[in-house]
Amino acid sequence: MANGFEKRLLSPGCRLTPGGLLLDVRLPWYRALPLSVVEVAGVTIDGAPVPPERISFELNGRRFRLAELRELVDEWWFVLDSAFLHVEAPGLKGDRHEVELTLNLYPPYIHGMTWVTRARRDLRAA
């Protein structure tokens, strides 16, 4: 589908942090979904993939490891809320980086569909 959510996947609030990145992520779908159908398929910094164990997912004031999302059938991501990806990138040098996020959704009433949304953003040190 022409995926109109791409342009809002990564919000302007994304920024570099002392240890890496903080990504302000919007749900690329029209209605609330539980985290069990949300998958962080990949984060790259300047083209280099970040290992999943260096990323954590924050929503509704709680923080999760990526591997935990699949079980979270009761943790709902409302359409107006941001989730935050905390990305550890120790040793990241320079004050300007390009981040790319690929987020997959598995809409729970459309069996067999993988909804892939990908967006890039240039991040500069504040």
Which residues contact other proteins by CB under 8 A? Answer: 1-5, 8, 26, 30-34, 36-37, 70, 73, 76, 78-80, 102, 106, 108-116, 118
Shortest distance in whole angstroms from residue 24 CB to other proteins: 12
The single residue listed with the structure tokens 């709680």 is 62
Cα radius of gyration (the chain): 14
Shortest distance in whole angstroms from residue 125 CB to other proteins: 27
Shortest distance in whole angstroms from residue 64 CB to other proteins: 16
Nearer to other proteins, 68 or 88 (CB): 68
Nearer to other proteins, 20 or 117 (CB): 117
Is residue 15 within 8 A of residue 50, CB to CB? The reply is no
Nearest to 74 by CA among 29, 27, 33: 33
Nearer to other proteins, 17 or 102 (CB): 102
The 10 Å CB-count burial string (b at 16+, else e) for 11-36 is eeebebeeebbbbbbbbbbeeebebb
